[in-house]
Structure 1
Amino acid sequence: MRAPAPPGFTERLAMIPLGTSFGSYNHRRYTATRSSFSGGRAHKLVAEALDGSDYISLNLYDLSAGAQLAPCEMPAEKVIAFVLGYAPETPPKKQLAKTVVSDISVFTEIND
């Protein structure tokens, strides 16, 4: 069932990176996959606790009447609390190492 998205919800959802990423909520680590469709007017989020103890699934539609939240088979309060409280992890910064071989520069990615 759809319901109007609460204040701040759309902005918090947008802070979760597109694609698959990691983060934390309620003292647990999650993997979260956020997708965007229809020119950014529809969004899907699926998240699962890494220990298998929790699952979140929702759609958000940006309609002319305002953003509409559609949780997938779970209470709206659960997905709202998750999105408002979820903290995405910052990916490690990539560094490049430069090697010069016979006047040719080769860049290699270094992960922290």
Structure 2
Amino acid sequence: MTDRHAPADPDRHELDALLTSIPEGWSRTEIDGRGWAITRTTHAQGKVITLSAERLGDAEQLSANVWLTSAGTVLKPCEVPAERVIRFLRAAADSYSVGPSGTGTPDRRPGRAAGGSGADQADSTA
């Protein structure tokens, strides 16, 4: 997705930064010119984050749980490879960094997409 040359397995700092870029609750963004609905929910006094993403207009989706432990951040994808979740998070983080009108804020209004097309940031498998 965002950086095809970046390692598929991010270090703890990169994963933490990617997670921070996704806003809590429901939001919408565009990746590769397609709309995505993303939900981030924090549980267990901030120690577990659940991410769910659905590409709007078709059946593409992915989800993962992330455990924030004293030993580090642990990614637990749900029925998809971890590499795919990481590629998606990188593309989503890039799209959120632009935000509507370059503000860096995701668009939470139904039917509105944040950021640009992201065509150079994602592939159709994400």
Report the TM-score, using the length of structure 2 for normalisation: 0.63
* Number of the residue aligned with 1:108: none
Per the alignment, residue 47 of structure 1 pairs with 53
CA contact under 8 A between 2:29 and 2:107: conserved in structure 1? no
CA deviation map 1:2-47 (0-9, x unaligned): xxx7231221122111111001223321000100011211100000
Q: Which runs of 5+ in 2 are unaligned?
A: 1-8, 100-105, 109-126
User: Which entry has the higher C-alpha Rg, 1 or 2?
Assistant: 1
Q: Quote the Cα distance in structure 1 between the aligned partners of 2:60 and 2:16.
A: 22
Residue 77 (structure 1) shift? 0.6
Give the total of aligned pairs. Answer: 88
Instruction: Indicate the structure with greater strand content.
Output: 1
Contact 1:9 1:84 (C-alpha < 8 Å) held by counterparts: no
Residue aligning to 1:83: 89
Q: Retained in 2: the 8 A contact 1:34–1:44?
A: yes
Which residue of the partner structure matches residue 69 of structure 1?
Answer: 75
1:34 aligned partner: 40
In structure 1, what is the Cα distance between the partners aligned to 2:57 and 2:107? 21
Identical positions, percent: 33
How well do the aligned residues superpose, as a CA RMSD in angstroms? 1.7
Query: Counterparts of 1:91 and 1:26 in 2: how far apart (Å)?
Result: 17
Give the conservation status (yes or no) of the 8 Å contact 2:15–2:73. no
SS where residue 14 of structure 1 aligns? Answer: helix
By how many angstroms is 1:69 displaced?
Answer: 0.3
- In 2, the alpha carbon distance for the partners of 1:77 and 1:66 equals 18
- Following superposition, which runs of at least 4 residues in structure 1 exceed 6 angstroms of deviation? none
With a CA cutoff of 8 Å and minimum separation of 6, indicate the structure with the bigger relative contact order.
2
**Could you list the runs of 5+ residues in structure 1 that have no partner in the other structure?**
93-112
